[in-house]
Amino acid sequence: MKEIRPGIGKRARGFLRDWSLPRQLAGQSSASDAARSTQSEALRPRLEQADKVGTVICPYCAVGCSQLLYARGNQVIHVEGDPRSPVNAGTLCPKGSATAGWLNSPLRETKVKYRAPHSDHWEERSLDWAMDRIAYLTKRTRDETFVEKLPDGTTVNHTLGIASLGGATLDNEENYIIKKVFGGALGMVWIENQARI
């Protein structure tokens, strides 16, 4: 029999094939076989393309949620919470869930940017150059501003010329080292952490 409208028979057959009611009436379970359609059969697991998975700690805040990073080659394709973690039990907040997005963002900065005093533009420098520069300026400022005794003779051995503001992702051990090196060795007084803000 000739179809009245081209394709209408095909659409009707597809509708009957994907409509679960006839299959449920025929005895298929609504929770399994009868729930399948052409579209759902074509769906693939979102991690099927990953060829490796690693564990990391979310770098965003001091909660320290555990993450599973799925990658294909060197490309991170998905991030989700690690269900084995007693900290986050498989969950992630929106920031942690967005990790793959900012890892792969074309706007992500991967090089040190330096703007010289009185300059109106940024220059790219190597990480080694930046570390040497920071060490040089820290030592110079510390030497220029170090105070051994106050005018009344009180021994202080400190500098008020440098301050440290740590990130919230610094853990106990890193903060311990910062306190020992910056405070104990260099004499810095103003040592603060973003986690307290």
- Chain residues that interact with ligand SF4, rule: CB under 6 A: 58, 60-61, 63-65, 88, 92-93, 95-96
Q: Which is nearer to ligand SF4, 59 or 183 (CB)?
A: 59
Cβ proximity to ligand SF4, 84 vs 115, nearer residue: 84
Task: Take residue 96 and report the two structure tokens written for it.
Answer: 């942690």
Task: Work out how close the CB of 75 gets to ligand SF4 at its nearest, in angstroms, rounded to a whole number.
Answer: 21
Tell me whether residue 99 is exposed, middle or buried, using C-beta atoms within 10 angstroms of its C-beta: 0 to 12, 13 to 18, 19 or more.
buried
Min. distance of Cβ 79 from ligand SF4 in angstroms?
A: 10
Question: Cβ(141)–Cβ(157) under 8 Å?
Answer: no
Q: Which is nearer to ligand SF4, 55 or 145 (CB)?
A: 55
Instruction: Select 93 or 189, whichever has its Cβ closest to ligand SF4.
Output: 93
Q: Which residue is nearest to ligand SF4 (CB)?
A: 96
Question: Taking the complex as a whole, how short is the minimal distance between the CB of residue 169 and ligand SF4, in angstroms?
Answer: 8
Q: How far is the CB of 140 from ligand SF4 (least distance, A)?
A: 36
To the nearest whole angstrom, how small is the minimum distance from the Cβ of residue 58 to ligand SF4? 3
Distance CA 85, CA 91 (A): 9
Strand order in the sheet with 188-193: 146-149, 155-166, 188-193
The minimum distance between CB 69 and ligand SF4, in angstroms, equals 13
Region class of 64: left (phi > 0), else alpha (psi between -120 and 50), else beta: left
Nearer to ligand SF4, 5 or 108 (CB): 108
Tell me how many degrees the CA angle 107-110-113 measures, rounded to the nearest 5: 95
| C-beta of residue 122 within 8 angstroms of C-beta of residue 116 | no
Q: Which residues contact 111 (CB under 8 A, 6 or more apart)?
A: 124, 125
Whichever of 82 and 159 has its CB closer to ligand SF4, that residue is 82
**Percentages (nearest 5) of helix, strand, coil residues in the chain:** 35, 25, 40
